[in-house]
Amino acid sequence: MNIDQIKKEFPIFDEKIQNNDLVYLDSANSSQKPKIVVDRINEFYTKQFSNVGRSVHYLAVAATNLYENTRSSVQKYINAKDKNEIVFTKGATEALNLVANTLGQSYLQEGDEVLITELEHHSNYVPWHFLRKSKNIKINFAEINEEGEITLEEIEKKITPKTKLISITHLSNVTGAILPVKEITQLAHSKGIIVVVDGCQGAPHLKLDMQDLGCDFYAISCHKMYGPTGLGVLYGKKKWLEELPPYQGGGGMINEVKKDRISYGELPNKYEAGTMATAQVIAFDQSIKFLESIGIENVMKHEADLVEYGQELLQKNNSVKLIGNPKNKGGVLSFTIEGVHPHDIATILDEDGVAIRAGHHCCQILHDKLNIPASARASVGIYNTKEDLDQLNESINNCKKIFNL
């Protein structure tokens, strides 16, 4: 695999960012886009545009087919059993809200418990908090260990007879810990507990096999997966998606509408009310093709090498403290520097063209637990190289110099 070649497929790396070559280490936030994805959006709007599923004219039929093609590609890519288990949403956030909302309407009852973890992104906590307010459910938190991991044992410990649902991240966007989702799912299912997975960080970096993983729902963020913004995917087991009520009402999701009664459409339309992010869905097919052309095994190998390299570099750098040290770790390096606030780190690194993120990364629960207000985070994607991490380290040294460390 030739990373230089792959990098060339991303037009942004031809740009000078404030006179610097871009060292993009913010892919956990959002990935850059390969040219084929950008071009596909342009091509669709300039040559093929029509709304989908509404009209019988040529363009509408063609657009509908393209839209449905992506659904099939996603199904194959994540090895879902059925095409109708793939629902498009505006992002992973909406996917998780959809799950919480519909389960709240028809499944979860007052007093039921939902188990999440201290690693969760706000979008896998706040939707459940809504149910805590409206339905009086209880939320329990599985706690991280010293390494910033969530173990199967910890999950087991936190399950009570009232636990109805477990909602967990596949890969932490702060500590990088990869959770044993398959084992957790097996355990949960043996106790009749539903499993929801926030797959935002898992989907771009790990091999996805829904039938093997076994979870009931899996939320994907397309913009972190070399795809367009404004798009997410919810995978849901067919039996759930058929059983649960609709989320939003409007055009496209209905079967029959009368003054005194309404019946809803079949899957997948049932969950895709209104005009969807058509161009993004169609372009996302190219993101999947891009990932398939490299091969997920190669992606995983490359990123594992990068993380190991970066981790070693930063461990050797005095006054840099890495957050978490999970055995099974994805491409995220979160750190603090004693005496320099993460925002100052990010501003100083930016001057060298090194783009990282500083803040709580939408994980305030975790930062409270770690007793730090914020952290700096470098995260990798397929286009990163060891040189990028060398530059990161060098810019960190410059930052220390400015702060007289």
Partner 1 sequence: MNLKELYQEIILEHGKNPRNLRKTEGFNKDAKGNNPLCGDNVHVYLKLNGQKIVEDASFEGSGCAISMASASIMTDLIKGKNEHEAKEIVEDFLGMIKENPELKSKYLNEDEKTKLMCLSGVKQYPMRVKCATLSWHTMVSAFDEKTEEVKTEN
Ligand X SMILES: Cc1ncc(COP(=O)(O)O)c(C=O)c1O
Q: For ligand X, which is the closer residue by CB, 91 or 326?
A: 91
Structure token pair of residue 73: 């590609």
Concatenate the DSSP letters of all residues of 80-104 into one string: -S-GGGEEEESSHHHHHHHHHHHHH
Structure token pair of residue 186: 């097996």
Residues that bind ligand X (CB under 6 A): 91-93, 121, 123-124, 169, 173, 198, 200-201, 221, 232, 362
Q: Which does 221 bind (CB under 5 to 8 A by kind): partner 1, ligand X, none?
A: ligand X
- Listed in sequence order, the DSSP H helices in 199-332 are 210-213, 238-243, 278-294, 296-316
Contact segment (CB under 8 A) with partner 1 among 60-68, 132-140, 275-283, 338-346 equals: 338-346
Nearest approach, Cβ of residue 21 and partner 1 (Å): 16
Catalytic residue of the set 200, 215, 222, 362: 362
Q: Which does 11 bind (CB under 5 to 8 A by kind): ligand X, partner 1, none?
A: none
Considering only residues 340 through 399, tell me which ones interact with partner 1, judged by CB under 8 A. Answer: 340-344, 347-348, 351, 358-360, 364, 367, 373-374
Q: For partner 1, which is the closer residue by CB, 277 or 346?
A: 346
Q: Which does 84 bind (CB under 5 to 8 A by kind): ligand X, partner 1, none?
A: none
Q: For partner 1, which is the closer residue by CB, 222 or 366?
A: 366
Tokens 């201290």 belong to residue: 118
Nearest approach, Cβ of residue 359 and partner 1 (Å): 5
Strand partners, 377: 334, 357
Q: What's the burial of 146, exposed, middle or buried (CB within 10 Å: 0-12/13-18/19+)?
A: exposed
Q: Which does 340 bind (CB under 5 to 8 A by kind): partner 1, ligand X, none?
A: partner 1
Q: For ligand X, which is the closer residue by CB, 232 or 342?
A: 232
**At a CB cut-off of 8 Å and minimum separation 6, what does 181 contact?**
168, 170, 195, 197, 202, 213, 215
Nearest 10 degrees: Cα torsion 361, 303, 225, 285: 180
Q: For partner 1, which is the closer residue by CB, 330 or 342?
A: 342
Q: For ligand X, which is the closer residue by CB, 32 or 124?
A: 124
Active site residue 362: yes
Contact, 167 vs 120, CB < 8 A? yes
Contact, 85 vs 241, CB < 8 A? yes
Q: For partner 1, which is the closer residue by CB, 279 or 399?
A: 399
Nearest approach, Cβ of residue 403 and partner 1 (Å): 6
Nearest alpha-carbon partner for 268 in 250, 246, 289: 246
Q: Which does 351 bind (CB under 5 to 8 A by kind): ligand X, partner 1, none?
A: partner 1
Considering only residues 111 through 140, tell me which ones interact with partner 1, judged by CB under 8 A. Answer: none
- Report CA 182 to chain centroid distance, whole Å: 18
Nearest approach, Cβ of residue 363 and ligand X (Å): 8
Nearest approach, Cβ of residue 339 and partner 1 (Å): 7
Count of chain residues binding partner 1 (CB under 8 A): 20
**At a CB cut-off of 8 Å and minimum separation 6, what does 316 contact?**
none
Nearest approach, Cβ of residue 260 and ligand X (Å): 37
Contact, 215 vs 181, CB < 8 A? yes
Strand partners, 379: 26, 332
Nearest approach, Cβ of residue 92 and ligand X (Å): 4
**At a CB cut-off of 8 Å and minimum separation 6, what does 228 contact?**
33, 37, 41, 222, 277, 279, 280, 283, 284, 287
Q: Which does 57 bind (CB under 5 to 8 A by kind): partner 1, ligand X, none?
A: none
Q: Which does 198 bind (CB under 5 to 8 A by kind): partner 1, ligand X, none?
A: ligand X
Instruction: Provide the 3-class DSSP secondary structure of residue 21.
Output: strand
Nearest alpha-carbon partner for 145 in 327, 293, 320: 327
User: Which of the residues are catalytic?
Assistant: 362
Contact residues for partner 1, defined by CB under 8 A: 18, 339-344, 347-348, 351, 358-360, 364, 367, 373-374, 402-404
